[in-house]
Structure 1
């Protein structure tokens, strides 16, 4: 069976891709590493995180190539380089890495809109919720700030391949005109073709044009274009499309507990966790990220303090939601500045914080009373999700559904929490009530199974 092979730059991206496919009736699992792909042989789509977003270009390229080779070994025939919806990371470098590995006639088609979350591309510019990309929070990202909103220009600054662009007028003119323009861009030497899109219908038109051309294509997008092209290729079974839940349930009446880990430091996440923390059934443990930045005795003491406090909260009869957060009640850190001040490598501060959160969660789920009480995990921040799940021995996630677009529901593969429900979300996604919705869905999933 020919499979879809998708490579992302973080675990949140793998979940987003996987859920988009699952919602179209395509069986999909996402994995943290190309070295551990338990159950991949049973899937129609295998998604691997290269964990590359914040790496230097050459290291990122090597990670992407390793993931590609693992997908080839699993029987993948159609490929996607999944990109962040806010264009963080070295997208051009990673696309180049795949074009170096794939057949010489491969063309990268970049239809980078995600209409369901109000991310569109018009005139080559990325617009998010009506705001130009460089005026959003992505421009101030602590690890990968974005300073270019014109996507063809961004790609040319990172890629050694010729970049061409097709504007929205051509897409609106219909599939036949679009096919002609795609062929013309390829004949002109284009190896990466960036295409405007404002709606799912536009992505549908682009996918049909690409499919009809019969090219060997590398999809470059956040997931929605890849979903449309997969459907064109005959993937998908309507009987597998997940059922949506009904009304929200009363958390106070629920049994069991949900553990929340908020490693993202964005203002969006701070507000969401703040709302959830206000619930009477929620207990919040603030973890001092400024202490965790360095692996030393103070950090170990802070980890032990958080574990002790977490156990106290978990043992409370009224505790239904146990929250571990690093940025809601504490000072917001600029990790790049902290790394420079302390002489740490790029990404080391974030890695140390997330590793500490992994130790804390592992200790909490190991409590005997947690064995039959845990309804699921909710994590915000892609790096946090990966580090915590790896700390408990998980290999990946089987995707099921969305809570809201880009806030995704799945089931853990491998480790101590095999089969446990999980919701993962990027730090910049959602509204103030998103954490509440995620926790509610985890309780619903457990009650539904019962």
Structure 2
């Protein structure tokens, strides 16, 4: 186990596990302290434990988190995380204090630091000026303030913490975060020198969370990452070597659709994941066999030399607005029927896909295809007999495994080219990542 997460409820524990899985760590959730048995979890690199502490009294929550952190410290993880609710419900201050105290006692010194990044931008939670904002509304004016079990009556993160702990807490404002990792690290070290054991950081975007994580990549003292999940995932990625290099950790996209929606979906994907999507010159594919073969060879060569850190590879026909073309216009220009144009493009994409999947060094663990005709062409080129339908990821986006052929049992999602909204491709790719995180290519 490299990463230990102590959550205050079961859904939170699972949510953190999913984010860590997407970073390449094999994750599991332990139902409670009384259920912990190292032999059950030794195969996992990240374990989230449900301390069930959100609804406990403050002292009982303190005791539960202290016991959980002490127990995990004995396993010598590289990173310990205290998962908190994204709206700061429950015993946030008491639990952070308990985690820091447990680490102090475990390591025999008082150098441990808790870094609280309460933001979850993709869920509409941000922290700016030390205030927690939920979908543009101050926390105390959100529905959370009226929560029957754990209402939150303040918007200031530092005040919420101070109500439950006397431990000294510092604050790193957005201005410092925007200054980059070095500026953030200096701000944190200055606060540590003042005796702060807990530091709250602003963050309004995923990039801010990454910056904070990078600032602590080589921090020599024990850290407790405190957040709803994203910060822990980013900190784990920079501080712990994920074992994913052993696994098939990349997804390949075969995108035949030329719709504007598909192009927008690819743009959203580029913002969410390190992508290497290579556009195919359709005119060259349609000019003749020699030109088509040359263009496929070029695309294959580019696809197979991705930048370091790339997790999504692919071939497409419309990477930019100017690439989107009309079948009618292309038909007149090339003197080909719609069917002939479609067939040639689909075959070219399928041939490149086949060659890429054979390159074991690329470690492609999942396949995504967009457009019904290109999907059929790809499956036939892979000499497959069919496709097992296992789940509906989105309406008209289906997950399954390839049956037979040269890529038997390969996880795959197929989606219509005119299906979904701008984030649908991101959802499909992230779904594939959760499915392939522990898959190894058979030897």
TM-score tier (shorter):
0.5 to 0.7
Structure 1 position 60, deviation (Å): 0.7
Q: Is 1:25–2:24 an aligned residue pair? A: yes
**Are the aligned partners of 2:8 and 2:84 in contact in 1 as well (CA < 8 Å)?**
yes
For 1:69 and 1:33, locate their aligned partners in 2 and report how far apart those are by CA, in whole Å: 14
1:122 corresponds to which residue?
128
1:194 corresponds to which residue?
200
For 1:63 and 1:132, locate their aligned partners in 2 and report how far apart those are by CA, in whole Å: 30
For 1:157 and 1:58, locate their aligned partners in 2 and report how far apart those are by CA, in whole Å: 13
**Are the aligned partners of 2:67 and 2:102 in contact in 1 as well (CA < 8 Å)?**
no
Question: Deviations 1:173-225 (Å, cap 9, x if unpaired)?
Answer: 11221111111111111111100001111111111111233332111111111
Label 1:225 to 1:200 Cα distance change in 2 as closer, same or farther (>3 A): same
2:259 corresponds to which residue?
none
For 1:86 and 1:106, locate their aligned partners in 2 and report how far apart those are by CA, in whole Å: 25
1:428 corresponds to which residue?
none
- Aligned residue for 2:145, secondary structure, equals helix
1:254 corresponds to which residue?
none
2:165 corresponds to which residue?
159
Out of 218, 226, 229, the residue aligned to residue 212 of structure 1 is 218
For 2:181 and 2:251, locate their aligned partners in 1 and report how far apart those are by CA, in whole Å: 33
Question: Deviations 1:201-252 (Å, cap 9, x if unpaired)?
Answer: 1111111111233332111111111111111023332646596999xxxxxx
Question: Deviations 1:95-139 (Å, cap 9, x if unpaired)?
Answer: 111111112100111111111212110000111111111122211
Gaps spanning 5+ residues in structure 2: where? Answer: 105-109, 255-392, 395-426, 436-443
**Are the aligned partners of 2:12 and 2:228 in contact in 1 as well (CA < 8 Å)?**
yes
1:80 corresponds to which residue?
81
Structure 1 position 70, deviation (Å): 3.0
- Aligned residue for 1:211, secondary structure, equals coil
**Are the aligned partners of 1:41 and 1:74 in contact in 2 as well (CA < 8 Å)?**
no
**Are the aligned partners of 1:171 and 1:196 in contact in 2 as well (CA < 8 Å)?**
yes
The 5 Å alignment of 1:383-398 reads none
For 1:105 and 1:88, locate their aligned partners in 2 and report how far apart those are by CA, in whole Å: 27
Greater CA radius of gyration, 1 or 2?
2
For 1:74 and 1:245, locate their aligned partners in 2 and report how far apart those are by CA, in whole Å: 40
Q: Is 1:106–2:112 an aligned residue pair? A: yes
Q: Is 1:223–2:242 an aligned residue pair? A: no
For 1:65 and 1:189, locate their aligned partners in 2 and report how far apart those are by CA, in whole Å: 21
2:8 corresponds to which residue?
9
Q: Is 1:145–2:151 an aligned residue pair? A: yes
**Are the aligned partners of 1:86 and 1:138 in contact in 2 as well (CA < 8 Å)?**
yes
Label 1:87 to 1:242 Cα distance change in 2 as closer, same or farther (>3 A): farther
**Are the aligned partners of 1:46 and 1:71 in contact in 2 as well (CA < 8 Å)?**
no
Tell me whether 232-241 or 78-87 shows the greater mean CA deviation.
232-241
**Are the aligned partners of 1:25 and 1:240 in contact in 2 as well (CA < 8 Å)?**
no
- Aligned residue for 1:126, secondary structure, equals strand
C-alpha RMSD over aligned residues: 2.9
**Are the aligned partners of 2:2 and 2:240 in contact in 1 as well (CA < 8 Å)?**
no
Aligned residues: 255
1:180 corresponds to which residue?
186
- The 4+ residue runs of structure 1 with deviation greater than 6 A are 242-246
**Are the aligned partners of 2:78 and 2:240 in contact in 1 as well (CA < 8 Å)?**
no
For 2:250 and 2:193, locate their aligned partners in 1 and report how far apart those are by CA, in whole Å: 42
For 1:190 and 1:86, locate their aligned partners in 2 and report how far apart those are by CA, in whole Å: 23
Structure 1 position 37, deviation (Å): 3.5
**Are the aligned partners of 1:10 and 1:50 in contact in 2 as well (CA < 8 Å)?**
yes
**Are the aligned partners of 1:26 and 1:240 in contact in 2 as well (CA < 8 Å)?**
no
**Are the aligned partners of 1:3 and 1:77 in contact in 2 as well (CA < 8 Å)?**
yes
Label 1:234 to 1:66 Cα distance change in 2 as closer, same or farther (>3 A): closer
Question: Deviations 1:234-292 (Å, cap 9, x if unpaired)?
Answer: 3332646596999xxxxxxxxxxxxxxxxxxxxxxxxxxxxxxxxxxxxxxxxxxxxxx
- Aligned residue for 1:212, secondary structure, equals coil
> TM-score when scaled to structure 1?
0.53
Label 1:244 to 1:120 Cα distance change in 2 as closer, same or farther (>3 A): farther
Label 1:191 to 1:75 Cα distance change in 2 as closer, same or farther (>3 A): closer
For 1:12 and 1:242, locate their aligned partners in 2 and report how far apart those are by CA, in whole Å: 27
**Are the aligned partners of 2:73 and 2:103 in contact in 1 as well (CA < 8 Å)?**
no
- Aligned residue for 2:148, secondary structure, equals coil
